[in-house]
Chains A and B, each alone.
Chain A
């Protein structure tokens, strides 16, 4: 076994495997089929080459040599066949190719009729080599013509094409073919007795390797690789075959010499090695191919997981877009990315978030080519494939350049284009495969839903904020009458008393008043001023205390009847003006509840205010606030004789934004807030109502002693 014989074996294995792989990827594609013919020719040549090198005499070498020559004859014509299909010029070259095949078949005849070579002779220890005839010279010239003719077309296309991907693919194939031809051509010198052995025959495997790399990295022959299983299979096959070979050869020698085993017994250790090493090797090869060749697939799982768990649930629009761009750039290893969204007010598409884009102030209109195309087609635009094909004045190319984009995906919702996801080139130089585009298209659709959610949440927050503000205003409005009465009246009295005293002094009313009498009068005035000032201060303090937000749940013992009094101080006057009587009924030593005092005030205020608003103006309103302690609970009831709540509405009264008042009059948040606050203070709120008769709210809180025990 010579090294060049082994090179033949390796060339055979690699070329036939890749040929079969390419064929099975798409048996109907002419490019794939013609590549298979090429590799089959190489494999055929290599196979017989291997056995030819094993031949021990001229008689056994001759038929093997004829067969390997048959392979050589068809290598170049199948090479041409592949090039014409690859470059899509087969139709115009069909006749030429047919002629080449016919000529090559003639050379086959010459091969088997011993006219290409006259004899086989041992040469320089490299087996039996042919003696070339003049016909061989003609064949060699024709062989080279075919070879260079193919290169001519490849180089022409390489020069003419602006498609970056196609350029890369041709580049790799030319390089691979040159290496393969050089390697194979090192067999020619020995035909002419030139002492240059075909050591570079092994380069044919390098040609195979380069083509395989171009398939993996640059989708040569439009093959997107699921090479994982094939590589694993090939690795296992090579391992088994190699191990079997090595261990058998070495083992046989060893066990024969040392233990005197025969060749079959020596196989036993081989079986053991393969049995125990097979599974770990399979796992190793699987992980290695994933890591080094298929990093992108691993990353897409990360991409999808990151998007599903983290990004698509973000409700802030800017943050959503920022994270989308950042994660896409990170996971896909991109040079640039941006999210462009439609501004509903200006009807312009603006960049919301971008990385790797110089000018982030670019805006797009509906009539701009990028937007128009995405709207019409709903399909992604890939720079090298689609941009050239889309007719236009180069605007699209300019747009892609501005965005530093390689791929633009529509972000659409309900058939409306709400944005564009622009992705730059991958740093690895890899192109976007169809699988990439499919995954990213799905991502863009889910991004559309996330964007829509973020926008709706923003609107909802604004609506809620407006409603909360209206609620605040409503509360202030309720308090206004009380504020006015309790502050303005005392101030009016203070002023009036002072003014009256001064006017009396000026008008001489005190002229006949004694000093003692005057002192008494002025003391009375002072006392009234103090009293009224205290009255105003009191209401101000109460109001301030009511308005101040409570610190998070400051729990303390709250005496509810006292808090009812405080609330009535605030709104009692307003209730009086509305002809509403408020009465309280708390037993002596009514137990306190453990709650936040201010929050309880807020609850009582809201319920009493609600009750007042529900009153029928035609009769005198009554509100009774009472307390009862039973069954381990401290209960407060607020009962009114208002209009009541219809049975079909009673279950909704605690829902946010539910109101029976006219639009703009009620916010629908009052009772919602009441329920939240009561529950936050470990209480329960219940309601009973009869339409036309009145409503009773019951607040139940655990007894302080029960809470302490808990």
Chain B
């Protein structure tokens, strides 16, 4: 069963991801804090990580960096706020993020497609 780890301080968002992808046969792990997400990522080794960039405590880009240090081939999709779009996106891609999605999400289908694509890539 493909495994997704959703790391976001917004409980409703992680609940949405869990409901949607859970209904479609994915195992969805949820963390509402950065450090909890990091721990789960290292332990469970999910196929794709969904990481919110702006979180209290450890920031999303630090979480990305740590995950990639531990698992260089990990597929991390960053969820970014729309401000600072261009440069932030560029920076995250350079850090090794698979792709970035803006908040608020405009399409769960697009996200699903991207997650499938990431999972199919080795």
Contacts and interface: CB of A to CB of B under 8 A. Distances in A.
Interface of A: 480-481, 484-485, 488-493, 495-497, 499-500, 503-504, 507, 509, 528, 532, 576-577, 579
B83 A484 contact: yes
Interface in B1-36: 10, 12-13, 16, 19-20, 23-24
A488 B19 contact: no
Contact of B103 (A489, A507, A509): A489
Given A485-B81, A496-B20, A496-B108, 12 more contacts: A484-B82, A485-B54, A489-B12, A493-B10, A496-B104, A499-B107, A503-B109, A507-B24, A509-B24, A576-B56, A577-B56, A577-B59
A493 B105 CA distance: 8
B72 interface: no
Contacts of A493: 10, 12-13, 16, 104
B106 interface: yes
B19 A500 contact: yes
Nearest to A494: B104
Contacts of A496: 13, 16, 20, 104-105, 108
A500 B108 contact: yes
A500 B12 CA distance: 13
Q: Is the interface of B mostly helix, strand, loop or mixed?
A: loop
B104 A491 contact: yes
A26 B56 CA distance: 94
B86 to A, nearest CB: 16
Contacts of A488: 81-82, 103-104
Contact of A500 (B16, B59, B104): B16
B35 to A, nearest CB: 13
Nearest to A504: B23
Contacts of B24: 507, 509
Contacts of B20: 496, 500, 503-504
Nearest to B81: A484
6 contacts: A484-B81, A488-B81, A489-B12, A492-B105, A503-B20, A503-B109
Interface in B97-119: 103-109
B83 A480 contact: yes
Interface string B49-85: 0000011110100000000000000000000011100
Contacts of A484: 81-83, 103
A504 B108 CA distance: 11
B63 to A, nearest CB: 14
Contacts of A579: 56-57
Contacts of A485: 54, 81
Contacts of B107: 499
A509 B23 contact: yes
B12 A528 contact: yes
A532 B108 CA distance: 18
Contacts of A489: 10, 12-13, 103-104
Interface residues of B, number: 23
Nearest to A580: B56
Contact of A495 (B23, B54, B55, B104): B104
Nearest to A487: B104
A492 B75 CA distance: 23
A300 to B, nearest CB: 66
B51 to A, nearest CB: 15
B30 to A, nearest CB: 15
A504 B16 CA distance: 12
Contacts of A577: 54-56, 59
A492 B108 contact: no
B66 to A, nearest CB: 17
A296 to B, nearest CB: 71
B26 to A, nearest CB: 13
A411 to B, nearest CB: 52
A623 to B, nearest CB: 15
Given A489-B10, A492-B105, A503-B108, A497 B81 contact: no
A481 B59 CA distance: 14
A480 B23 CA distance: 35
User: Shortest 4 CB-CB distances between A and B: which pairs?
Assistant: A492-B104, A576-B56, A496-B16, A493-B12
Nearest to B10: A489
Contacts of B54: 481, 485, 577
A276 B90 CA distance: 105
Nearest to B23: A509
Contacts of B56: 576-577, 579
Contacts of B106: 495
A507 B82 CA distance: 30
Nearest to B19: A500
B28 to A, nearest CB: 13
A87 to B, nearest CB: 89
Nearest to B106: A495
Contacts of A497: 16
A295 to B, nearest CB: 73
Contacts of B59: 577
* Most B CB within 10 A of own CB, among A481, A490, A499, A507: A499
A114 to B, nearest CB: 123
Nearest to A491: B104
A528 B19 CA distance: 13
A184 to B, nearest CB: 103
A380 to B, nearest CB: 63
A532 B55 CA distance: 19
A500 B109 CA distance: 9
Given A499-B108, A579-B56, A492 B81 contact: no
Contacts of B108: 496, 499-500, 503
Contacts of B23: 504, 509
A492 B109 contact: no
Contacts of A576: 56
A488 B52 CA distance: 13
* Most A CB within 10 A of own CB, among B55, B57, B103: B103
A230 to B, nearest CB: 86
Contacts of B109: 499, 503
* Most B CB within 10 A of own CB, among A481, A493, A507, A528: A493
Contacts of A528: 12
A492 B13 contact: yes
Contacts of A507: 24
A579 B35 CA distance: 14
A500 B54 CA distance: 24
A200 B59 CA distance: 116
B91 to A, nearest CB: 17
B112 to A, nearest CB: 9
A577 B53 CA distance: 10
Nearest to A499: B108
A497 B109 CA distance: 12
Contacts of B16: 493, 496-497, 500
A104 to B, nearest CB: 108
Contacts of A503: 20, 108-109
Contacts of B104: 488-489, 491-493, 495-496
A532 B16 CA distance: 13
